[in-house]
A = this chain, B = another copy of it.
Amino acid sequence: MTTRTQKTTRDLRWHNRADLLTRLYLGECTNRNDLASTSGLSAATISNVVSDLIADGLVGENGSQSSAGGRPRSLLRVLPDFGYVVGVDIAETAIRVGLFDWTLEPIAEEVRSVATAQVPPQKVADQILSEIAAVTARVGITPAGLLGVGVGVPGAGGAVIHAPTLGWSAVPLAGLLRDGLGFAPEVDNGAMALGQAEVWRGAARGSERAVTLLLGIGAGGALSMAAGPGGRARSFTLEWGHTVVDLDGPTCRCGARGCLETYIGAEAILARYAATRGSTPFATEGVVEQLTELVDRAVQHREPAARTVLDTTAGYLGAGISNLINLVAPDRVIISGWAGALLCQALLPAIRLIARRHALPYLFELARIEPGELGHTSGTLGAATLPVARLLADGGRRGPG
């Protein structure tokens, strides 16, 4: 509590600049008039700040929009070529690196399959650095020319990473990467980053308070709170998968017993199916393929054993979601991740039903449960929002770090 925001009149300008830039970036406003009315600033100030933004190459004028019989409004637009950002997704089975322009349009991608849990952190860092080098080389820039790099990890973010999924405990990933990049990347929880992406571009647009769930082998989550009056947007990680569902349940890889992850994690679902009478062996290898097949058997072929396993899964998912609804009162619950997409396909109505049964009615009414909308690039896209968010908060001050 030593330093604070907003002291001098100059900071005021940066504050307003960040505000206006964010509105333009998110598409809430497209002209100076909108900016004036929604921000509460005077037209004069809008004019000043916008011309600064234009001078700095962040924003451009792009045609005009005729108004009721007067001078037309000139349309303002965030300029994509202001710079590039990189999003790194440390997933369970691969490291994905995506290059985006700062409006989050995808430019290039590198994917390398790695069982990340079995590789030492230094190796992971090296892998990431080489992918970043590859992906930036394609547009002829160096990492130093990036606006920033964001890394999404399946665990707690910050200077030191804890990720039970990867067996990481206090790994200084940001430090390892800084040495190779020349500046510090923003490392944070992948579900949190994804949540921001869903709020900006996906199923949580317009949400004040969204929970994003990331289902795969593990089950992560995050809460994204919009900037209310008098406060910045904030988000934080929910280690939802390691919530206890049954005091005497099976032992989780985190060491505790009865974690939700041991019921709704992809491997847990498959194990439950394998242990069921009436199950038949899969034709494929790999969790992703097998879960796909399981869902297929339940949905297409109406196989009772598969159906039962999925119904049980829906029960746990629904209850787990209702707990989140009761705890954080979200207005949106986004189910994402590869397993999330598969399960939604088969179980969304069932999940909603069960969640309704367990959540407090007035809280359930607030919460819309929806599948994620960002598809298979969601991981890198989410990670890429991290440096962009910082850039916006800074009003577009260039340069990483």
Contact = CB atoms under 8 A, between A and B. Distances in A.
Contact of A238 (B9, B164, B322, B328): B328
Contact of A327 (B41, B230, B238, B358): B238
A231 interface: yes
A70 interface: no
B243 A327 contact: yes
B40 A164 contact: no
B156 A362 contact: yes
Interface of A: prevailing SS: mixed
Interface in A256-290: 256-257
Given A162-B362, A247-B319, A230 B329 contact: no
Nearest to A228: B234
A162 B230 contact: no
A240 B39 CA distance: 37
A170 B119 CA distance: 54
A247 B321 CA distance: 13
A6 B4 contact: no
A315 B257 CA distance: 13
Contacts of A362: 156, 162, 169-170
B239 A326 contact: yes
A6 B14 CA distance: 11
Contact of A7 (B16, B156, B359): B16
B2 A237 contact: no
A239 B360 contact: yes
A12 interface: yes
B12 A319 contact: no
Contacts of A232: 230-231
A7 B239 contact: no
A327 B329 CA distance: 13
Given A1-B28, A1-B226, 17 more contacts: A4-B229, A7-B41, A9-B9, A156-B362, A164-B360, A169-B362, A231-B231, A236-B329, A239-B326, A239-B329, A240-B327, A243-B327, A244-B245, A244-B323, A247-B319, A257-B358, A327-B327
